[in-house]
Amino acid sequence: MVKPNNSQKEQLDDLRKLVIEIMQDMDVWKDHELDALYNIKLGVLRKNATQRHGVTKWQKGVSESELSFETLDSIELHPELLNQQWNAYAAFVLHHEFIHALGFRHHNSLFRKLEYSWPGVNAGEIGPKFTEFLRRKTANWLWVCKDCNSEFPRKKPSNGKYKCRKCMTILVDVKLN
C-alpha cells in the first residue's frame, strides 16, 4: 500500500466521517455496529491504477472463514478520488469498501442491494466517467475513429487490432506527447 501523505490522510478521514454519518441514517445499517469503521487503516492505491477505484485488503494468509474486523488490513482508495470534484463518487466507493469490511465479501445481490441503498449518487454513471478521466490522465496514445471522431485514450497503441464499436472502422493510433 502507498502511504498517504498528510493532506491525503486528512481528506480520507473527512471522507470516512461523512460516509459513516450517512450510513448511520440508512435503514439497511440500523442494526449494525458502525463505530469500528473509524478504526480501519485507510490508504491510497498507486496513482497509475485505472481499473480499480478502491480495494479492501485482509491480512495475508487469512481464509474466507476468518474475515472480520480483526483480520482486516486496510482499505485503499484511488488518490484521484480525493480531489473535490470526485467527492460524491469517492463517498460511494468508500461505502462499497465498508460493506466488504462489514463482512459482505462477494458482489452478490444482497451486496448490490446494500450498495445501492446509498443516497444521492448514481454511481452507475459516475464510475465509468472516473475510469475515463483516469485513462486520459495516464494515456500515451489516443485510438481514433476517423469516421465518427471518437477518441479512446489508452496506455498502449492499438496497432490496428481494434475497431470502433459504432462504425466498425479500424481505429488509428495518435501519439500523445
Q: Shortest distance, CB of residue 7 to Zn ion, whole angstroms?
A: 26
Residue 110 in contact with Zn ion, rule: CB under 5 A: no
- Look-up: residue for cell 435503514? 27
- The residue within the footprint of Zn ion, chosen from 59, 166, 174, 176 (CB under 5 A), is 166
The sign of the CA dihedral 131, 136, 141, 146 is positive
Residue 147 in contact with Zn ion, rule: CB under 5 A: yes
- The residue within the footprint of Zn ion, chosen from 43, 145, 153, 154 (CB under 5 A), is 145
The sign of the CA dihedral 36, 84, 133, 89 is positive
- Residues 6+ away with beta carbon under 8 Å from 171: 143, 144, 145, 152, 158, 162, 163, 164
3-state secondary structure of 9: helix
- The residue within the footprint of Zn ion, chosen from 77, 93, 164, 171 (CB under 5 A), is 164
Q: Shortest distance, CB of residue 48 to Zn ion, whole angstroms?
A: 20
Which range binds Zn ion by CB under 5 A, 71-79, 133-141, 154-162, 166-174?
166-174
